Structure 1
Amino acid sequence: MNEVIGKTMSILYRYRQMIINHKLRPYGLGSGQHIFLINIARHEGINQKDLTHLVKIDKATTAKALKKLEDSGYIYRQCDEGDRRYNQLFLTTKGHEMMPIIVSTLGEITDSLIEGLTEEEQNYFSKCLDTMLDNALHVVDQLRNEK
């Protein structure tokens, strides 16, 4: 059963990413960049280090995604007056205009993936995913502490 759950989660993740990439490609957004836009929109002025921690993605991937978003005109950086070592991240007008499209697109994709599930099944599934995420975070914290 464990093998089936892991395999299914992996396939579901890859297919969901394929759908997201297909739907956001016309806007010049690539794999995973929407995650950064959403979180910058929620936390305007966040710095790169805190954003990396927030989205649970490594520093190198964050740096590449932010560079692409900046080059595409979705975000801009501004020197943090409190700590000049850091840049604060903000959405441009283009970035703000993109947010409703991203939110709508992700909602449509989720709706298509949960189609056929009752509300009770959706709630149960959500609780299961939360438990699995908590378990994964605990294991990752243990791994980090081993280093």
Structure 2
Amino acid sequence: MGCYQHIGKYIGEIHRSSYMYFGKRFSKFGIGAGQYLFLLNLYENDGITQEELTKKVRLDKATTARAIKKLEDEGYVRRIKKESDKRAYRLELTEKAEQIKDDVYSIMNEWESEIRMCFTDEESQELMNLLNKLSKSSLINKEDIHE
């Protein structure tokens, strides 16, 4: 059984490597590896509610709340109570967040370039297709694993 290989092992290794990379690269902005994903989603969906963001990132409410609190404390996000539902908050990016937007995307592109250097263009495209297929699978999209 010593030579058994499984996909999860490699996905885990890649995830841990990316976590360390992003943690190091984003530290100069006071952002940890746990917050950049939320910031990226807010760049694409500024003004969404915290609940909508939780669904987009496929993490639990507590994780989202902690990440948003950190981004808020660092001055990147404002939580604004919705008029229609006083329990819900809209998330709005600040000017400070807009000022680092190009840097954030640059860091993401650097990581992407590093990964793609391991593959030919065809392999890279095939990997994207396979990962996209896996991401959209019923296994990954089960509601009960994200609650």
Flag whether TM exceeds 0.5 (same fold). yes
Displacement after TM superposition at 1:7 (Å): 1.1
For residues 143 and 71 of structure 1, the distance between their equivalents in structure 2, rounded to whole angstroms, comes to 30
Displacement after TM superposition at 1:141 (Å): 5.0
Q: 1:99 aligns with which of 79, 82, 101?
A: 101
- Superposed, 1:66-145 pairs within 5 Å as 66-135=68-137, 138-139=138-139, 142=142, 144=144
Q: 1:43 aligns with which of 19, 42, 45?
A: 45
For 2:121, the aligned partner's letter is: E
Q: Which runs of 5+ in 2 are unaligned?
A: none
Displacement after TM superposition at 1:107 (Å): 0.5
For residues 76 and 19 of structure 1, the distance between their equivalents in structure 2, rounded to whole angstroms, comes to 27
Aligned residue pairs, count: 143
Partner secondary structure for residue 117 of structure 1: coil
For 1:139, the aligned partner's letter is: L
Query: Are the counterparts in 2 of residues 78 and 89 from structure 1 also a CA contact under 8 Å?
Result: yes
Aligned partner of 1:28 in structure 2 is 30
Aligned partner of 2:59 in structure 1 is 57
Per-residue CA distance 1:35-92 (angstroms, 9 max, x = gap): 1111112111111111101110111110000001000001111121232221110111
For 1:38, the aligned partner's letter is: L
Query: Are the counterparts in 1 of residues 79 and 90 from structure 2 also a CA contact under 8 Å?
Result: yes
Displacement after TM superposition at 1:97 (Å): 1.0
Aligned partner of 1:13 in structure 2 is 15
TM-score by length of 1: 0.89
Partner secondary structure for residue 3 of structure 1: coil
| Percentage identity across paired residues of the two chains | 32
For residues 74 and 20 of structure 1, the distance between their equivalents in structure 2, rounded to whole angstroms, comes to 17
Task: Tell me: CA distance 1:2–1:128, structure 2 relative to 1, closer, same or farther (3 Å).
Answer: farther
Q: Which runs of 5+ in 1 are unaligned?
A: none
For 2:131, the aligned partner's letter is: L
Task: Tell me: CA distance 1:142–1:5, structure 2 relative to 1, closer, same or farther (3 Å).
Answer: closer
TM-score by length of 2: 0.89
Displacement after TM superposition at 1:142 (Å): 4.9
Partner secondary structure for residue 24 of structure 2: helix
